[in-house]
């Protein structure tokens, strides 16, 4: 049986989605769709300019000369320099009306990674932490939440605990740090036996306090990871040369390839960072250079997942902490602009080929169909079969929803 999305099901049935019967059938089709299993976040650290990436305005003053290119999605353009992603746009939808109240890098990163504004009374968990908490992964011996090439604010577990923090890994061309014993195997095992004696003596009379630290569990997880064959998922050197070339000979390209390999062994969320988008000066030069890394890696990841039949099981989200001002400053740069920016989202059963919302071509007005960042979170969680309205409990007993947003209906 072929799998239909909502509109495809209705078209095959010859029923309009505007009718009550059509609405009922659409909901039934959505309910029957298996949820996604994992998330890849391509984090564009520093705040990428939407005008030089996913929301070009060719021929306008705010474009400042940036050209646009057609894509595989009818009527949807991307900025020049993203030609390979343009070929994959049937899988990708663009949310061009995102907005946030946070124009500072750290606060903006927090808002985009958690869906909440910073609050001194609670540390909200990131999307990846929630997914790993709500979707346990049986048989996964390595961390299920991974951050490759992290910046200073990688995804965290927040109130869910440090065990849900992202495991930080740098260029996959290098070995995973601190996973290879520095002594022969028998001596390594002997050290663990000695450690058991020390831990046992320390725990005597301190049972609950020791258990609360999570030390024993952390040591067990670390040892399991060190001896697991799943560590090989980080090693992209074993991939065919043609595959490595497709992703690009860059740390970010290798990170995206490692992300695909990690999904294969059951990792739930991988965040791959491409930093450096803070273009207060020389905006065009900076974005051109970074697009040369983003374009092949993003496109190859989408194509790879699609050809392997796993794109439907994986949500791919590409976004930074905010956008850039429509006006150029005297240094040829664009400054922080949280009032309207764009996210690219693909896979996970979400509709592709769409441009949702519309930014002002003059840059001064609010976008049409404004989407707060919390809506993006709610959309991702729903695609993964997670109830975004379900509450979590903070360390002081305070409860809050996994997301305070509303899923973006057009992506269903």
pLDDT digits (tens, 9 = 90+) for 224-275: 777 789 999 999 999 999 999 999 999 999 999 999 999 999 999 999 999 9
Q: Give one word for 145, left, alpha or beta, with left for phi > 0 and alpha for psi -120 to 50.
A: beta
**Measured between alpha carbons, how far is 254 from 215 in angstroms, rounded to an integer?**
32
User: What is the model's pLDDT at position 10?
Assistant: 47
User: What is the model's pLDDT at position 20?
Assistant: 65
Please compute the mean of the pLDDT values over residues 90-109 and round it to a whole number: 98
Name all contacts of 365-370 with Cβ < 8 Å and 24+ positions apart: 366/99, 366/339, 366/340, 367/96, 367/97, 367/99, 367/340, 368/97, 369/97, 370/97, 370/99
**Measured between alpha carbons, how far is 328 from 108 in angstroms, rounded to an integer?**
21
CATH topology of domain 37-175+235-411: Alkaline Phosphatase, subunit A (3.40.720)
Please compute the mean of the pLDDT values over residues 382-394 and round it to a whole number: 94
Please compute the mean of the pLDDT values over residues 17-38 and round it to a whole number: 66
**Measured between alpha carbons, how far is 261 from 233 in angstroms, rounded to an integer?**
5
CB atoms within 10 A of CB 306: 17
In total, the chain counts a number of residues equal to 412
**Measured between alpha carbons, how far is 144 from 233 in angstroms, rounded to an integer?**
12
Domain ranges for the chain, please list them: 1-33, 37-175+235-411, 181-231
Output phi, psi for 41, to 5 deg. -110, 120
Output phi, psi for 233, to 5 deg. -60, -25
More confident residue, 8 or 290: 290
Range with the poorest average pLDDT among 19-33, 253-267, 305-319: 19-33
| Residue 11 CB partners (closer than 8 Å, separation 6+) | none
Residues 6 and 236 sit within 8 Å (Cβ to Cβ): no
pLDDT digits (tens, 9 = 90+) for 161-213: 999 999 999 999 998 887 777 777 777 777 777 777 877 777 777 767 766 66
């Amino acid at each position: 049986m072929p799998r239909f999305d909502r509109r495809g099901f209705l078209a095959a049935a010859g029923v309009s989605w505007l009718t009550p019967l059509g609405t009922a059938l659409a909901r039934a089709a959505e309910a029957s769709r298996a949820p996604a299993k994992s998330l890849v976040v391509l984090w564009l650290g520093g705040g990428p300019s939407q005008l030089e990436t996913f929301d070009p305005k060719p021929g306008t003053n705010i474009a400042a000369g940036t050209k646009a290119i057609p894509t595989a999605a009818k009527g949807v353009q991307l900025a020049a320099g993203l030609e390979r992603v343009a070929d994959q746009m049937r899988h990708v939808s663009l949310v061009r009306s995102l907005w946030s109240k946070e124009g500072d890098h750290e606060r903006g990163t927090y808002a985009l990674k958690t869906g909440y504004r910073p609050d001194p009374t609670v540390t909200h968990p990131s999307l990846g932490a929630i997914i790993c908490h709500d979707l346990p992964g049986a048989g996964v011996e390595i961390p299920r939440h991974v951050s490759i090439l992290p910046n200073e604010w990688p995804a965290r577990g927040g109130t869910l605990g440090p065990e849900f923090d992202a495991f930080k890994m740098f260029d996959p061309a290098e070995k995973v740090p601190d996973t290879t014993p520095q002594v022969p195997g028998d001596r390594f095992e002997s050290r663990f036996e000695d450690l058991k004696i020390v831990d046992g003596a320390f725990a005597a009379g301190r049972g609950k306090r020791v258990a609360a630290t999570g030390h024993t569990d952390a040591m067990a997880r670390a040892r399991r990871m060190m001896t697991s064959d799943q560590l090989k998922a980080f090693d992209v050197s074993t991939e065919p040369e043609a595959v490595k070339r497709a992703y690009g000979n860059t740390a970010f390209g290798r990170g995206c390839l490692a992300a695909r390999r990690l999904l294969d062994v059951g990792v739930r969320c991988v965040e791959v960072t491409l930093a450096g988008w803070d273009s207060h000066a020389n905006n065009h030069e900076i974005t051109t250079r970074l697009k040369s890394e983003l374009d092949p890696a993003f496109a190859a990841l989408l194509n790879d997942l699609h050809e392997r039949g796993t794109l439907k099981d994986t949500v791919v989200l590409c976004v930074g902490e905010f956008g850039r001002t429509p006006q150029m400053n005297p240094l040829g740069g664009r400054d922080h602009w949280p009032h309207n920016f764009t996210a690219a989202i693909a896979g996970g059963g979400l509709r592709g080929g769409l441009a949702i919302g519309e930014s002002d071509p003059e840059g001064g007005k609010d976008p049409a169909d404004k989407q707060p960042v919390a809506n993006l979170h709610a959309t991702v969680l729903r695609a993964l079969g997670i109830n975004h309205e379900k509450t979590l409990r903070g360390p002081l007993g305070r409860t809050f929803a996994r997301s305070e947003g509303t899923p973006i209906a057009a992506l269903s």
